[in-house]
Homo-oligomer: A and B are copies of this chain.
Amino acid sequence: MPKDQKPRRPKAETPKGFRDYFGAEVTERGAMLARIAEVYRHYGFDALETSAVETVEALGKFLPDVDRPNEGVFAWQEEDRDWLALRYDLTAPLARVYAQHRAQLPTPYRRYAMGPVWRNEKPGPGRYRQFYQCDADTVGTPTVAADAEICRMLCDALETLGIARRDYVVRINNRKVLNGVMEAAGVLDPADPDRFMHERGIVLRAIDKLDRLGTEGVRALLGEGRKDESGDYTKGARLSEEQAQVVLGFVEARGATGAETLRNLTDLCGQTQTGAVGIGELTQMAELLEAGAYGTDRILLDPATVRGLGYYTGPVFEAELTFEILGEDGKPRQFGSVAGGGRYDDLVKRFTGEAVPATGVSIGVDRLLAALRAKGQVAHEEPGPVVVTVMDRDRMADTFAIVADLRNAGIRAEAYLGNPKSFGAQMKYADRRRAPFAIIEGSDEKARGVVQVKDLVAGAQAAQTASLEEWKDRPAQQEVTRADLVAHLQRLLAK
A residues near B (Cβ < 8 Å) are 1-4, 9-16, 18-23, 25-27, 30, 34, 41-44, 46-55, 57-58, 60-62, 66, 74-76, 78, 81-82, 84, 86, 96-97, 99-101, 106-108, 110, 116, 118, 129-130, 138, 140-141, 143, 145-146, 148-149, 194, 197, 200-201, 287-288, 291-292, 310-311, 346, 349-353, 384-385, 387, 393, 396-397, 400-401, 404, 407, 412-415, 417-419, 429, 432-433
Contacts and interface: CB of A to CB of B under 8 A. Distances in A.
Contact of A97 (B20, B287, B346, B404): B20
B76 A49 contact: no
B58 A12 contact: yes
Contacts of A352: 9, 12
A51 B412 contact: no
Contacts of A116: 51-52
Closest 4 CB pairs of A and B: A44-B414, A12-B99, A26-B47, A76-B76
Please report whether the interface of chain A is mostly helix, strand, loop or mixed according to DSSP: mixed
A307 to B, nearest CB: 13
Given A9-B353, A10-B58, A130-B53, A108 B2 contact: no
Contacts of A43: 407, 412, 414
Given A415-B145, A418-B107, A13 B138 contact: no
A57 B10 contact: yes
B15 A417 contact: no
A397 B288 contact: yes
A415 B149 contact: yes
Contacts of A97: 12, 20
A417 B41 contact: no
Contact of A412 (B11, B44, B84, B130): B44
B106 A433 contact: yes
Contact of A397 (B16, B19, B292): B292
A483 to B, nearest CB: 18
A285 to B, nearest CB: 11
25 contacts: A2-B311, A3-B194, A9-B353, A10-B60, A12-B58, A15-B54, A15-B82, A15-B84, A18-B51, A20-B49, A21-B49, A23-B46, A25-B47, A44-B412, A44-B433, A51-B116, A52-B116, A76-B76, A108-B417, A110-B414, A143-B393, A149-B400, A292-B400, A292-B401, A292-B404
